Structure 1
Amino acid sequence: MSADCLFCKIVRGEIPCAKVYENDAVLAFLDIAPVNKGHTLVIPKAHHADIYDLPPALGAQLLEAVQAVGASFKGALGATGMNLGMNNGASAGQMVFHAHWHLIPRFEGDGLSLWPQKSYANIDEMSELARKIASYIR
């Protein structure tokens, strides 16, 4: 754990949270500035800065929590959908550098929309970029 990390302090009980789920490796709690009421953060209890720092073995436990919390939104909140997001790096909007997923309950007509989409010039540009990305995957 990191001594000065906000989420590590929550895990240690130094800062209170509205807990919705917990197991040995994972904690889920309500976001203090929700996009919609019920907006929940799912975090590993161990400090990992972002997705690139997470051990793959921890992924199954995190996914289990995401599924359990997300499924609860239907009955508890009447949600008709859910957005799942994770910001990695400051340029992507990450403000707390402890890996975490945002689970945002969605409701018909809630006024939220996704980001604006862009396009490729043509299939060749798209294919070349796909090849380039694939060449960096280990």
Structure 2
Amino acid sequence: MECVFCAIATGEADGHRVFEDEAVVAFLDARPLFPGHVLVVPRRHAETLTDLPPEQVGPFFLRVQRIAGAVERGMGAAGSFVAANNRVSQSVPHFHVHVVPRNRKDGLRGFFWPRGRYASEEEAAAVAARVRAALEGP
């Protein structure tokens, strides 16, 4: 079975990319908690954090840190939720970190959160553009 995140990383599958370089690809979650919910994945397949080669951990999380700041700025959020599952609740067996824009009283409680969809491809493209633009800023 082919990995959907690998397919997005190689360009074989579509994804609303917000960032990519030699180490990572970051794109909008297709079922976001809130607009601007980004997934950051290592470009090379690793099923879990513990499968990520040690020399890639630091560079990977430096990119997560940068993207978290961009999501907050791009979405006008007060903060962000940054999390990863390892196997349990990992819907795609390719290590990924969720970067979710957060605001006080946004309705998220615990770990049972309702997921949504973007109203259209145009809305998703506009949200991806906002995060990309924030990555290019200061």
User: Normalization by structure 2: what TM-score?
Assistant: 0.76
- Structure 1 residue 109 displacement after superposition: 1.6
5 Å-filtered alignment, 1:94-113, equals 94-113=90-109
Secondary structure of 1:105's aligned partner: strand
Alignment partner of 1:114 is 2:124: no
User: Normalization by structure 1: what TM-score?
Assistant: 0.76
Contact 1:21 / 1:65 at 8 angstroms: preserved in 2?
Answer: no
Aligned to 1:49: 47
**Residues 76, 50 of structure 1: alpha-carbon distance in 2 compared, 3 angstrom cutoff:** same
Structure 1 regions of 5+ residues with no counterpart? 117-138
CA distance in 1, matches of 2:72, 2:32: 17
CA distance in 1, matches of 2:16, 2:42: 16
Moved over 2 A (4+): none
Deviation by residue 1:69-117 (Cα, 9 ceiling, x = unmatched): 110123211111111111111xx2011001100111101221112349x
Pairwise CA RMSD = 1.5
Q: RCO greater where, 1 or 2, for CA within 8 Å and sep 6 or more?
A: 2
Structure 2 regions of 5+ residues with no counterpart? 113-138
Aligned to 1:93: 89
**Residues 96, 115 of structure 1: alpha-carbon distance in 2 compared, 3 angstrom cutoff:** closer
Q: 2:17 aligns with which of 16, 19, 35?
A: 19
Aligned to 1:78: 76
Matched length: 112
Aligned to 1:127: none
- % of aligned pairs identical? 38
CA distance in 2, matches of 1:103, 1:41: 6
CA distance in 2, matches of 1:81, 1:7: 26
CA distance in 2, matches of 1:112, 1:38: 15
